[in-house]
Amino acid sequence: MFNTIGVIGLGVMGSNIALNMASKGEQVGVYNYTRDLTDNLVATTEGQLIHPYYKIQDFVHSLETPRKIFLMVTAGKPIDSVISALVPFLEAGDVIMDGGNSHYEDTERRYDELKSKGIGYLGIGISGGEVGALKGPSIMPGGDKAVYEKVAPILTKIAAQVDDDPCCVYIGPKGSGHFVKMVHNGIEYADMQLIAEAYTFLRKRLGLSVNEIADIFETWNQGELNSYLIQITAEILRKKDEITGLPLIDVILDKTGQKGTGKWTSIQAIDTGIPSSIITESLFARYISSLKEERVYADIILSGPEMDQRSLDKDLWIEYVRQALYMGKICAYAQGFTQYKMTSELYGWDLPLKDIALIFRGGCIIRAEFLNVISETYQAQPNLANLLIAPYFAEKVKEYQIGLRKVACEGINSGISFPCLSASLTYYDSYRTGISNANLLQAQRDYFGAHTYERSDLTGFFHTNW
Ligand code: 6PG
């Protein structure tokens, strides 16, 4: 009997994807470059439909044709090495899927190379971490539609399910699946940073305890802020350190790492002329966090305002923070979805925005209640320029900007750093400024460089002898 699918790369994500497939009735052939991970997996999976192979050709020959091979290998060179090792044993019609966080341009290169050999290649965004991989991730496949059809029955089965619909939909051609995952991660960075800033305000300015803040996040998670990241934040804040007994959050070093996808999102936005400022600020916030030693020194020699001791109406300000967070989140998702729209137009990808919002409702890290509204919005207005101007969101931010302004101003006056809350407000105010100061910039450019400017009353380009 042949295996119906093969998985290469048996780290935690790859092992869990293989287990997920096996639990859905697939016969899964597994292979890893080093045998230890294969042995680890099979030691715990007796009786399951997981079959180990220790030579790549044995692995390939164990698969039914057309072969379907799922890679869960570290992004970058390792993917190219695995593909090179596989290709001699493959036939036209076989399909390779890359489920890692590959850069979408690498995916396009690999897609082109394999297509010339008749081998199908899908760049598949997978979100949901270890648990998602095992129980049902959100899946974003990009490549040829006909190639996707060959693997769709398996992918839709292993995906998270929401309202009986799989969180897996064909995204579009070439590298578009990995592109959608990349921007998903950019939104993830912004969402996480916004939550961290809301937490800081509650802790530093309102003087609440970690436990009280956990209660607040738990309550928020019952309402329109309902989301995976809010839920896990409440759980994180409850956790005690086993060594000191302190809240674990208080002993975790304040230096944030990153693996590149948020950076790629920002680079692509900048290259393409897309104002993804909140996402980029969340990346810079991680960079500043990593300057720990410098920050500790600067804390001694640089001064700011004393933390304002005026007592604030607690309940009122908790509500302001909730509004600020929700509005920041709306602005961040508006930027991410604008990046989808503008890039889709640039490459002619025809990205299904309403479906992307739908498959983000389950499995993935940014899953949130309000993705339902985002999806409905794009269903009603597929060519919407920006989520902010859709009726639901325009109404919401009209109301919630009060909270965001109060919290941003109060925080800034108290010397708290608010990269993403303030970027959200700036984005909102810039976007709704019909007549801006860009005329002065144009005049300056023309003054020193004769770059010319357009006029608001006449067509054409003009230069002034200043
Ligand atoms: C997901 C996540 C995941 C990502 C990690 C780490 O959707 O499951 O986005 O793919 O790799 O969250 O990302 P950073 O190390 O860059 O924070």
Both tokens of residue 282?
């969340």
How far are the Cα atoms of 25, 72, 191, 346 from residue 106, in angstroms, in the given order?
32, 15, 27, 18
Q: Is 188 a catalytic residue?
A: yes
Q: Answer whether residue 438 is part of any domain.
A: no
Q: What is the pLDDT of residue 311?
A: 87
Query: Quick one: 244 and 120 in the same domain?
Result: no
Query: Per-residue pLDDT tens for 116-171?
Result: 999 999 999 999 999 999 999 999 999 999 999 999 999 999 999 999 999 999 99
Is the CB of 364 within 6 Å of ligand 1? yes
Q: Which CATH number do you get for residue 67?
A: 3.40.50.720
Task: Please state the atom number of ligand 1 nearest to the C-alpha of residue 101.
Answer: 10
Q: What is the pLDDT of residue 46?
A: 82
Query: Quick one: 157 and 36 in the same domain?
Result: yes
Residue of the CA atom closest to atom 14 of ligand 1: 258
Query: Quick one: 158 and 305 in the same domain?
Result: no
From 119, 140, 174, give the residue that closes a domain: 174
Is the CB of 13 within 6 Å of ligand 1? no
Query: Quick one: 46 and 69 in the same domain?
Result: yes
Domain hosting 95: range is: 5-174
Q: Answer whether residue 217 is part of any domain.
A: yes
Query: Quick one: 198 and 266 in the same domain?
Result: yes
Q: Which long-range contacts (CB under 8 A, 24 or more apart) does 261-266 make?
A: 261/101, 261/181, 261/182, 261/185, 261/186, 262/185, 262/186, 262/188, 262/189, 262/286, 264/103, 264/182, 265/182, 265/183, 265/185, 265/186, 265/189, 265/339, 266/186
Query: Quick one: 72 and 197 in the same domain?
Result: no
Q: What is the pLDDT of residue 93?
A: 98
Q: What is the pLDDT of residue 309?
A: 72
Annotated binding site for substrate: 101, 127-129, 184-185, 189, 259, 286, 445, 451
Q: Residue 194 in contact with residue 332, Cβ under 8 Å?
A: yes
Q: Answer whether residue 444 is part of any domain.
A: no
Query: Quick one: 150 and 198 in the same domain?
Result: no
How big is the chain by its Cα radius of gyration, in Å? 25
CA distance 408 to 415: 10
> How, if at all, do strands 453-454 and 461-462 pair?
antiparallel
Query: Quick one: 239 and 124 in the same domain?
Result: no
Pocket test for ligand 1, best of 72, 73, 101, 229 (most atoms within 8 A of CB): 101
Pocket test for ligand 1, best of 130, 185, 361, 364 (most atoms within 8 A of CB): 185
What stretches in the chain show pLDDT beneath 50? none
Q: Answer whether residue 366 is part of any domain.
A: yes
Query: Quick one: 24 and 129 in the same domain?
Result: yes
Query: Quick one: 114 and 216 in the same domain?
Result: no
Please, which residues have CB within 8 angstroms of residue 182's CB and are 6 or more apart in sequence?
101, 103, 104, 125, 261, 264, 265, 268
Query: Per-residue pLDDT tens for 355-388?
Result: 999 999 999 999 999 999 999 999 999 999 999 9
How far are the Cα atoms of 165, 196, 238 from residue 233, in angstroms, in the given order?
27, 9, 9
CA distance 300 to 2: 66
Number of folded domains that form the chain: 2
CA distance 211 to 247: 9
Which helix (H) or strand (E) segment holds residue 283: the answer is helix 277-289
Q: Answer whether residue 451 is part of any domain.
A: no
